Amino acid sequence: MLHPWVGSVQGMNKTIIGALVGASVLAGGCGAVVREAERLAVRTSPSIGTPTSASSPSASSPPGSSPAGSPGAGDLKQAAQAALGAVPGSTLVSIETEENGRLWEVQVVGKDGTEHQLDVESGKVVAGPTTEQEDADDKAKHRARVSAAKLDYAQAADKIAAAVPEGRVTELNLDTEQGKTVWEADVIGADGAKHEVAVDAATGAVTRNNAATS
């Protein structure tokens, strides 16, 4: 519903147009009437002062999703959430980017210790889940690591990202190091250097942070 003052303005505009049209008939004939009416109709449009889609700042804004290769662990988390959603009740134990950041290879473990592999691209599962053929000992190891980890993949990724400011986490694995369950990660720094970072999965303490040597 239009505001009352808008209706008043429109009524005044119609009165002005009518007066001008009448004057135009006397002065220039029908052709002048049409041109003058068209000109005034544009100038007195109710939408005057409202930005058009072409001038709106948000008209050409891209979607809110972060681009591949952005700093931190946002891309990793997006892929992880997609994989975990495809295997309900599972726990992520490994995730690694491939194909220059376009694809993520993810391993999740079910409650019984069974490992499943998936490929994720642009936040969607594009392959899998496929079940790994493992024996009872392998499944028991998976269950033990998952049970020992007090930090999940997301919490570990945040600590690792903070350890290498402006770096991008490209790989994260739940593993055992010197008798402790740890989250190990590869991080590409802002300068392109690769860093190897480890976080104690029980305490959250960073136990290793060094530039990888080729």
pTM of the full predicted structure? 0.64
Task: Give 43's contacts (C-beta < 8 A, 6+ positions apart).
Answer: none
Cα–Cα distance between 200 and 208 in angstroms, integer? 9
Distances in whole angstroms, Cα of residue 69 to Cα of each of 26, 126, 167, 186 = 70, 19, 10, 14
pLDDT (tens, 9 = 90+) of the chain, 214 residues, equals 444 444 443 454 444 444 434 444 344 444 444 454 445 444 444 433 333 333 333 333 333 333 445 667 788 999 999 999 999 999 999 999 986 778 999 999 999 999 999 999 988 999 989 998 888 888 899 999 999 999 999 999 999 999 998 899 999 999 998 889 999 999 998 888 999 999 999 999 999 988 755 5
